[in-house]
Amino acid sequence: MRITQVETFTHWISWCNWLFVKVSTDEGLYGWGEGSLHGAIRSVETAIHELEAALIGQDPAGVERHWQAMYHAWRWRGGPTLSTALGALDIALWDLEGKRLGVPVYRLLGGPFRERIRAYASHWLAGVETPDAAYAGAQEAVRRGFTAFKWTAFNAERLRENEPREIAHATALMAAAREGAGAETDIFIECAERLSPRSAVLAAQALSPYRPGWFEEPIPFENAKAMVALQRELGVPIATGERLLSRWEYRELLEGGGCKVIQPDVMHAGGLTEVRKIANMADTCYIPVAPHNPGGPICMAAALHLAAAIPNFYILEQMEDERPLRDELCTIPLSYRDGFFELPTAPGLGTDLKLEVLREHPFRPQPISGSSELLWH
């Protein structure tokens, strides 16, 4: 069996482009990958086709060997664009290998450790501005079966205008959400890098009575030492890592104790091959993994297989508003029930794609957003 073709497909979905890659062979088998980077998606697409030279004509077996060949082609000039391209191709090769052997990918990864994958509703309570709306939104998450949800607590512009008032506003919404969700539901706080080491401590003190499950990226991710120092002072667990691209980038954060939960992204951090190694490294520090999972159905499936196969899995991000489209796009949709996804049993990732569903979703250039939302005070 030899790899004969690498194809890419891009489709605009509400806030970003989904980018799928199809790796085909001379025996009719093919695998699906995804590299839906928020931003420079055309650059990712170009990088995929630049990396395909390492695959065309090769036997697809031996995913680690292919990963090493592609990684060393870009390691000295990499970054998220090429790492995402590598991730997309890596996922496709795992899908292809599972299909060739007739087993789900999580079995190739050594799993499953579990047969149901706990998920949380991400970007929940979007647009909520009153305690009554926060209470109702939290109740809706519970009604849908979720045992956890995440919401963005702080408005960047309002923080700049009046920080104490915005923290007080977030606290009132959190109190109402906790009442609506009940004591047994985890509520995670997306900080979106909008706080500083000083204001993060103030915000954590205000929200702590309502038991936030984590503060996600309270400060910008680049300075691991700053994150380490903040976690020592913060009374709330820090979750971070969605923008870290390799085990080497995680090393300082983990060794320093800079977080209580890591969030590697299977699309952006070099695919399943690399993220499994990141998870293993985190396991030596007793840190659980909550995969960052913002993409389409192939990203979701890959993250699910990873979650099944690592011992230190915690919880999986779920873009709940996009679930109907993901289900429509899949020939075998993932089964969700009572806050958990059930493991697929079909070979590979467990589904094919019906791209005709996305006819009305053509590629659209990503709007440019700068760093004006980040706060440095």
Q: Which amino acid is at 376?
A: W
DSSP 291-353: -B--S-HHHHHHHHHHHHH-TTB--EEE-GGGHHHHHHHBSSPPPEETTEEEPP-SSBTS--B
The pLDDT of residue 374: 55
Q: Maximum distance among all alpha carbons in the chain?
A: 63
Does position 376 have pLDDT exceeding 50, yes or no? no
Q: Does 285 score more than 90 pLDDT? A: yes
Domains 3-103 and 107-348 share a fold: no
The arithmetic mean of pLDDT across residues 234-260, rounded, is: 97
- The pLDDT of residue 244: 97
What is the CATH topology of the domain spanning 107-348?
A: TIM Barrel (3.20.20)
Q: Write down the domain spans for the chain.
A: 3-103, 107-348
What number does CATH give the domain 3-103? 3.30.390.10
Residue 24 has pLDDT above 80, yes or no: yes
pLDDT digits (tens, 9 = 90+) for 343-358: 999 999 999 999 999 9
CA-based nearest residue to 146, from 187, 192, 191, 189: 187
Give the tens place of pLDDT for each residue, 316-348. Answer: 999 999 999 999 999 999 999 999 999 999 999
Sign of the Cα pseudo-torsion (52, 33, 42, 244, in order): negative
What number of helices (H) and strands (E) belong to the chain? 13, 12
pLDDT tens track for 6-16: 999 999 998 89
253-273 pLDDT tens trace: 999 999 999 999 999 999 999
Tell me which residue has tokens 């030596």.
284
Average pLDDT, the chain: 95
Q: Over the stretch 154-207, which tens digit does the pLDDT of each residue have?
A: 999 999 999 999 999 999 999 999 999 999 999 999 999 999 999 999 999 999
